[in-house]
Structure 1
Amino acid sequence: MYQTGNVYTIAAISIIGGGLFGFDISSMSAIIATQPYKCYFNQQGFNDVGECIGPKADVQGGITASMAGGSWLAALCSGYLSDRLGRKMAIQIGAVIWVIGCIIVCASQNIAMLIVGRVINGFCVGICSAQVPVYISEIAPPSKRGKLVGAQQWAITWGIMIMFYISYGCSFINGTGAFRAPWALQMIPAILLFFGMMILPESPRWLASKDRWEETRAVLALTHGHGDPESPFVVREFDEIREWIRIESEAKNASYLELIRPRMLNRTIIGVFMQIWSQLTGMNVMMYYITYVFKMAGLSGNNLLVSSSIQYVINVVMTVPGLLLVDRVGRRPLLLVGAAFMAVWLFANAGILGAYGTNPGPGGVGGNTPEASTEVTGAASKAVIACSYLFVASYAPTWGPPLGVVTVTTSPDAISLQ
């Protein structure tokens, strides 16, 4: 079968796996504020004007978090799966799992079924978010590795934006089609990913780990030598891989215990806490629940969804500088600058909501959103919206692209899979 050796094409196809995560984020954020969704999964009755209030706050939190739960479980076993079957096959399995999850989510008859479907979707996200960066880093040349691995984050931002506008368009559909249609359309990129991976080469490092040296050399020649196995770069890369395999063969049975041994502990802490602090920045809260934040800022109806979508556009655009800078400026300076700016905007938002917010009553803003428990108006409202946009604009170029790069490149291959 034909295989492409262009590293940009390889990255463009494989990062669709990141796009799936983005699709999932905005397929919830755009829908949770719509009446068809609230009425179908309604648990709290109606407000004074007959509008559905929707699921209870803790239940909605469970629905949203169920994907992350599945992702956590899958991430634990994705390294084993990838090591046994190969990077390509692991990503393709993730794509199949995603389609299965989307079918269940789309056909959901109740909240339990919706949660099960999202947990299954999370299995795919866990596999792809862990293995796509590894796959790209093992194929890309060192000079392009940072931006190509970071492109995974850019794919996430594109997935978020595209799916939000699809969900926004579907919000004008009457009945359950308003949320079933976008949930069904999520299957399309996974199908493209599955078939697209067929024309991509396997990771040369994985092939080498299985003693398939001729195939390793052939892939290196295809991706880095324009088909010439004697190219100086191919020979140098081949020798480097051979040396890595020799070193790692001394710890061939690398396990999770290896992560806490003295020689690896510092790297493990860096990798783990990079992921932890990325979540604790609040970026995913902004992605999932921006409609609640903007509802507290006094927006409603069409204005609410359109204004919410602007942050997704900002996310896509502002990730580009990060891709360009990650190999030039370095990972650490970007992370430090981004953390400082994000702290400023979050502190400002909290201060504005605390100082100028008023209690809208037990039904929340509008009487149908208990989660929107504070309301601001006038200049304070505009300030909350502006700070939310600036927060996203600070995260995208500084914490987005470097995140996967740091996690993958701080550990040897056998350990990074864990």
Structure 2
Amino acid sequence: MVYVVSNIYVITTIAVIGGALFGFDIASMSAILGTQQYKCFFNQGGLDEDGQCAGPTSSTQGGISASMPGGSFVGALASGIITDMFGRRKAIQLGAIIWCVGSIITCASFSIGQLVVGRFINGVAVGICSAQVPVYVAELAQPSKRGTVVGAQQWAITWGILIMFYISYGSSFLDGNAAWRLPWGLQMIPAVLLFFALFFLPESPRWLAKKDRWEECHETLALVHAKGNHSDPFVQTELREIREMCEFERDNKDASYLDLFKPNMINRTHIGMFTQIWSQLTGMNVMMLYITYVFGMAGLSGNANLVASSIQYVINVVMTIFALLFIDRWGRRTPLLVGSTLMMTFMFANAGIMKTYGKPAPPGGVDHVAEESWDMSDAQSAAKGVIACTYLFVASYAPTWGPVSWIYPPELFPLRLRGKAVAVTTSSNWIFNFALSYFVPPAFENIKWQVYILFGVFCATMTIHVFFFFPETAGKTLEDVDSMFHSDVKAWKTKVQFQDIRRAELGGVVFDKTADEEKPAAVAVERPVGAV
């Protein structure tokens, strides 16, 4: 008999390696695109005035960077069909295989076209994993732990960024093409580990139930939630709830992508999609990918630029820990609102500093990273202000929009639609990632400091949108979420139900309680508590 991991935190640690793959891509491209080895091999601009390789043009570099999110868009959409047919676990394993194929092509690239194809295939893998890892761990976790385990996806991304950045930075000291081939080759190792480790993880009990594999469903619930005790009250109520849900959905026609846009579901779809869209329009991933441009404008060059860039990756990892510890108590709305407000502040601050103290760069650009960019090398105090605001921006994103953008969408949808729904919401992330990856290099050259104004306006807009339309889902069962969307309750009046759900998990019952009461009602009412 094959050993099956039962601890939800161990399961999550293995599964979210799929999220780390995205981080590997961000960091490797960020660290590599400024190196002379990379620029000389893929050189399109000849030599600059200092006799150094100019590298790909800004539009070409935008295309190279955008090829990965372009593939992720395709992979995320396809993942909805794959996961419903073969299961959450096998979908993630398929993503790991595709990642290895793309990495081999990227590592062996001898032309820009081959590099783009390899990165596109890598993107397909990231799209599959980024869409289905949150679904997988959300369907296995207890409601009070759901935010932590799904948020671990974002933490894995931050670790992927940090680890691969330093690997790429170290490789930059190698001579020749090994400086960029080595990092893109090494990034296959985690995917290989993920593929084989998944054989020791359980399948989602909700997917098993959907396929009428009830004995396996019951076994998995008991294994993960009660150390194998099939008679545990929480396991029994959760199994009953899943069975009732499946019976209800079996009476309805099979779910399709079109169901997400019908009147009874379109509001949830709009919220899920915009959670991912706004996550991109904060500007975070852009700043991560092109941080060498930003710090080059601030007067940092060479190794100083790369080391300063790496500090924000450390901040990203550390600050995400707070979300893992407290996100189920904080809820979803509060982190989103606080995060977007703080990010707006730092974006506008950067714009003001760069406008006041910066100037157009001399021919050749700053540190040979971006031609005709913005230069602040003559105003060191102001340049340090730009760097500080950038760090504070990252510190604001890491515990708020970073993890919540992955936690929130799987909580919005019923089982029959969840796989496809999260595929659609995640594809929204990737199509905007694609557009921004292509847009930012020429934007830094052509509109310069105004890029910060643009993202600051986005942050202000999303704050308003979240306040009026995004309800609180933390700690709620599926019944609570369904009734919330079918009621007239306003988004800003919804609250976290963390304490109620913790009592339910410990005792197998949920206590009826109004939003304003301090104590549970005298009568305990049994009801399903395991849905996510």
Question: Considering the TM-score relative to the shorter chain, is it more than 0.5?
Answer: yes
Q: Which residue pairs with 1:154 in the alignment?
A: 155
Report matched runs for 1:62-73 at 5 Å: 62-73=63-74
| 3-state SS of paired residue (2:32) | coil
Gaps of 5+ in 1: none
Q: Which of these residues, 388, 401, 404, is aligned with residue 403 of structure 2?
A: 401
Which stretch has the larger CA shift, 389-398 or 351-360? 351-360
Offset, 1:413: 2.0
Q: Deviations over 1:71-106 (max 9, x none)?
A: 001111101100000111000000000000000000
CA spacing shift, 1:170–1:372, aligned 2, 3 Å? farther
Q: Which residue pairs with 2:180 in the alignment?
A: 179
Q: Which residue pairs with 1:340 in the alignment?
A: 341
Query: Residues 362 and 370 of structure 1 are in contact (CA less than 8 Å); yes or no, is this contact kept in structure 2?
Result: no
Report matched runs for 1:104-253 at 5 Å: 104-253=105-254
Offset, 1:322: 1.3
Distance 2:380 2:330 in 1: 40
Q: Which of these residues, 415, 418, 443, is aligned with residue 416 of structure 1?
A: 418
Q: Which residue pairs with 1:374 in the alignment?
A: 374
| 3-state SS of paired residue (1:361) | coil
Q: Percent identity?
A: 61
- Number of residue-to-residue matches in the alignment: 417
The structure with more radius of gyration = 2
Distance 2:248 2:56 in 1: 54
Distance 2:358 2:399 in 1: 31
Distance 1:413 1:214 in 2: 19
- Name the amino acid aligned to 2:389: C
CA spacing shift, 1:184–1:372, aligned 2, 3 Å? farther
Query: Residues 39 and 54 of structure 1 are in contact (CA less than 8 Å); yes or no, is this contact kept in structure 2?
Result: yes
Which stretch has the larger CA shift, 224-233 or 183-192? 224-233
| 3-state SS of paired residue (1:312) | helix
Report matched runs for 1:248-327 at 5 Å: 248-327=249-328
Query: Residues 205 and 217 of structure 2 are in contact (CA less than 8 Å); yes or no, is this contact kept in structure 1?
Result: yes
Offset, 1:338: 0.3
Offset, 1:57: 0.2
RMSD of aligned alpha carbons: 1.0
| 3-state SS of paired residue (2:56) | coil
Query: Residues 293 and 372 of structure 1 are in contact (CA less than 8 Å); yes or no, is this contact kept in structure 2?
Result: no
| 3-state SS of paired residue (2:133) | helix
Q: TM-score, normalised by structure 2?
A: 0.77
Offset, 1:344: 0.5
Distance 1:257 1:246 in 2: 21
Q: Show structure 1 runs of 4+ deviating over 3 A.
A: none
Distance 2:337 2:251 in 1: 36
Distance 1:370 1:91 in 2: 37
Query: Residues 322 and 400 of structure 1 are in contact (CA less than 8 Å); yes or no, is this contact kept in structure 2?
Result: no
- Name the amino acid aligned to 1:41: F
Q: Which residue pairs with 1:328 in the alignment?
A: 329
Distance 1:416 1:283 in 2: 27
Q: Deviations over 1:364-407 (max 9, x none)?
A: 113x2235600113111101100110100000011111111111
- Name the amino acid aligned to 1:142: P
Distance 2:307 2:60 in 1: 26
Gaps of 5+ in 2: 421-532
Q: TM-score, normalised by structure 1?
A: 0.98
Q: Deviations over 1:113-144 (max 9, x none)?
A: 00000000000110000000000011011111
Which stretch has the larger CA shift, 356-365 or 91-100? 356-365
Report matched runs for 1:11-26 at 5 Å: 11-26=12-27
Query: Residues 18 and 156 of structure 1 are in contact (CA less than 8 Å); yes or no, is this contact kept in structure 2?
Result: yes
CA spacing shift, 1:340–1:371, aligned 2, 3 Å? farther
Distance 1:371 1:317 in 2: 34
Which stretch has the larger CA shift, 238-247 or 35-44? 238-247
Distance 1:326 1:62 in 2: 36
Q: Deviations over 1:137-188 (max 9, x none)?
A: 1101111111101000000000000000000100100100000000000000
Query: Residues 149 and 405 of structure 1 are in contact (CA less than 8 Å); yes or no, is this contact kept in structure 2?
Result: yes
- Name the amino acid aligned to 1:410: L
Distance 2:249 2:375 in 1: 57
Q: Deviations over 1:211-248 (max 9, x none)?
A: 00011111111111211111111111111111221222
Query: Residues 362 and 372 of structure 2 are in contact (CA less than 8 Å); yes or no, is this contact kept in structure 1?
Result: no
Distance 1:362 1:113 in 2: 31
Query: Residues 292 and 371 of structure 1 are in contact (CA less than 8 Å); yes or no, is this contact kept in structure 2?
Result: no
Q: Which of these residues, 386, 389, 397, is aligned with residue 388 of structure 2?
A: 386
Distance 1:346 1:28 in 2: 23
